[in-house]
Amino acid sequence: MAREKNKEKVILDSAVSLFTSKGYLATRMEDVAKSAGISKGLTYFYYKNKEDLFMALTKKAFDQFKDEFRDIYRSKGKSGLEMVSDLLVRIVQFARTNQVYYDSILNFLDLLKKYNNPKTRAQIDPKILESQHFQKLLEIHHEPAKIGIMMVSQGIKDGSIRPQLQPEITFYTIWSMIIGYEKMLGPIEYEGKEMKIHAENWEPGFLRLMQEMLKGTIQATKPATVQGSLF
């Protein structure tokens, strides 16, 4: 059993390496088998096709992603707001150091949007729907979010996050902001010469804005009316 698990890991690790260097579309199952030093037939024994292999990779990505959330939540002596702030930094770092994993997570979120709509579910490749790893992902993909919601709830409880906020809505709003932030890093870095914002000062600025939103210290102020007199 341990030997079989080891072969599965070798195949999966080889797939991660090839997807990173060549891209998903350019990588063939034959390439994965050769890189893993395992026969093509044995590779297909563990993973039915490339789609199944990618879903296995996505499952591993969610497991590691959950570990990032769990490590932060278990940290001692931190308020809920500090946990959420740490989460922003960790997610961005996760995306930078594990780009294939992070991209697979975002890809699965897009798949879920299609899967949840009967009209668009038919657009999903049947090989993906048949993957046992896809079915497992349907069960566990929400686990990182559950921990994130607990962070927000902790912040409301300890007073670091304003009590008017609803934990579930708040966390998913934060996560959507982080996804957008990570995606916009490319354009910001590319157009840095044309814009007043730069990548090196955007992260602390984004973090500060998110913290102020959660604390409730941002207030819109109406400009004072200045009355003048001709005399």
**Is the CB of residue 16 less than 8 Å from the CB of residue 57?**
yes
pLDDT digits (tens, 9 = 90+) for 64-88: 999 999 999 999 999 999 999 999 9
User: How is domain 51-215 classified at the architecture level of CATH?
Assistant: Orthogonal Bundle (1.10)
Give the other-Cβ count within 10 Å of 210's Cβ: 19
pLDDT digits (tens, 9 = 90+) for 179-206: 998 888 777 776 655 666 666 777 888 8
DSSP track, 8-63: HHHHHHHHHHHHHHT-TTT--HHHHHHHHT--HHHHHHH-SSHHHHHHHHHHHHHH
Domain ranges of the chain: 1-47, 51-215
Domain 1-47 has CATH 2.40.420.20: no
Contacts of 71 (CB under 8 A, 6+ apart): 90
Q: Write down the pTM of the prediction.
A: 0.86
* 47 conformational bin, left if phi > 0, alpha if psi -120 to 50, beta if neither: beta
**Tokens standing for residue 132:** 């046992």
